[in-house]
Amino acid sequence: MSKLTIALVAHDHKKQELLAWVKQHIKTLNQCDLVATGTTGGLIANETGLDIKRYKSGPLGGDQQIGALIAENKLDALFFFWDPLNAAPHDPDVRALLRLCSVWNVPVACNASTADLVITSPLFLSPDYKPYKPNF
């Protein structure tokens, strides 16, 4: 079985929350191929030692790079701790990323509670689970 590819993304005000969540679930995440936007990926790699492929920072195109993985059917889940209380200049990119997750049936968690439920699901690492993928 190939490893799941998981994306980790967080807005500035949510980076520490995502980092704490990653530390809580490091054993499971260590079994996955991890990708992240630039600043978030650097923070997590430095603090945890996890191997993370880093894309550009979100506002510089990293959100679109993660979106391309979704559209190419190369991403299995997105953990995106976004900040709904602070507008970001790249909000349209954020909405597009979340839309792609819905279109391509990719699980997305936007807060720690939902992320906990996703990552602790018996289906998360199950080789028998084959989610529906649209055929466009």
63, 91, 116, 128: the catalytic one is 63
Closest CA to 136 of 92, 78, 70: 70
Q: Catalytic residue at 12?
A: no
- Contact residues for 18 (Cβ-Cβ < 8 A; gap 6+): 8, 10, 40, 44, 79, 81
- The DSSP 8-state label assigned to residue 111 in this structure reads S
Q: What sign does the dihedral 35-116-86-90 (CA atoms) show?
A: positive
Residues assigned a catalytic role:
63
